Amino acid sequence: MNWKEILKGPISLPVALSVLAAAPFVGIALHYFLADSAGTIPTGAEASAIKSRLSTPQKLSKFNLTDDANQPIDINSFTGKWSFVLLGFTHCPDVCPFALSNLAVVHKKMSKTLPSDALPSVLFVSVDPERDQPQVLNQYVQYFNPDFGAATGSTNEIDRFVTQIGGYYKFGPKRGAGAYEVTHSAEIFVIDPSGRVFAKLNPPLNPNQMTLIFKFLVTAYEATSKSSYAKTSSKGAIQGWRS
């Protein structure tokens, strides 16, 4: 059969149409297949986990922040669970929403394989308290994931917290209409259940690798402080930031 016959033959239309209709699905399936098989290669994740770890975990101490439900946040809010902390400000149109929406994807993916009590809490800490009151932060962070929390505080307390986690921020000059930018750390600070900065992850997080990276970090942590983790986790599960 030549090309013309195929086109004119009575079966050409259904065949052609079904091939045409199936093509995008085959493409999508292939894409996911390739993406998933890439995600199962553990070498990358393990290497990333090792790279992200701090040689000496930094213990958090005294600071007082307020979360997006107007509740106080201090060192006790971080013990007994894993937390992912990121710095930012809500007037940041590009990088902060990019990081948070990626974290939402990562979190969703992690929740498929990890029990809810093993999932890290996500806390967005605004370094711009003048514009980011708790209610503003609440609306902001809830948009990305209702389980995500946000916090801010006085300049003094923010400085204390940022110094302790080894972060950085700096206000840019005021521009027209009172607008200003804030330069800040891009990393995700991983706080372990003993309230220490255990690792720093550079965004954007790879959703296919993140569960593995996190598991490597948890294993590394448990190897060094098994008893204390068992004690804290037996107290009960802490799921979202608020619970």
Partner 1 sequence: MAKLMYRRQIRWHLLNQLAFAALALFGLMFSQHVRAEEPILVTQAWVREAPPNMSAHAAYAVLRNNTNQERNLVSANSSDYKMVELHLSKVTHGIVSMVKQKQITIPSKGMVKMMPAGFHFMLMHPKRALRAGDKIEITLGFADGSKQTFQAPIKKAPAASGKHHHMGH
Q: Name the site residues for partner 1 (rule: CB under 8 A).
A: 7-8, 10, 12-13, 16-17, 47-48, 51-52, 90-95, 97-98, 101-102, 105, 136, 139-144, 168, 172, 175-177, 179, 181, 183-187, 200-207, 213
Question: Minimum CB separation from partner 1 for residue 20, in Å?
Answer: 9
Pairing, β 121-126 against β 196-201: unpaired
Nearer to partner 1 (CB atom), residue 79 or residue 185 = 185
| 74-108 burial: b if 16+ Cβ within 10 Å, else e | ebebbbbbbbbbbbbbbebeeebeebbebbbbbbe
Nearer to partner 1 (CB atom), residue 13 or residue 30 = 13
Residue 184 CA to residue 243 CA, distance in Å, equals 28
Question: Minimum CB separation from partner 1 for residue 137, in Å?
Answer: 10
CB of 211 closer than 8 Å to CB of 109: yes
Nearer to partner 1 (CB atom), residue 75 or residue 136 = 136
Question: Minimum CB separation from partner 1 for residue 29, in Å?
Answer: 17
Which 3 state secondary structure label does DSSP give 83? strand
Question: Minimum CB separation from partner 1 for residue 80, in Å?
Answer: 27
Nearer to partner 1 (CB atom), residue 36 or residue 117 = 36
Question: Minimum CB separation from partner 1 for residue 191, in Å?
Answer: 17
Nearer to partner 1 (CB atom), residue 33 or residue 98 = 98
Tokens 């013309």 sit on residue? 4
Tell me the residue type at 66.
T
Tokens 């007994």 sit on residue? 80
Which 3 state secondary structure label does DSSP give 174? coil
Alpha carbon distance, N-terminus to C-terminus of the chain? 68
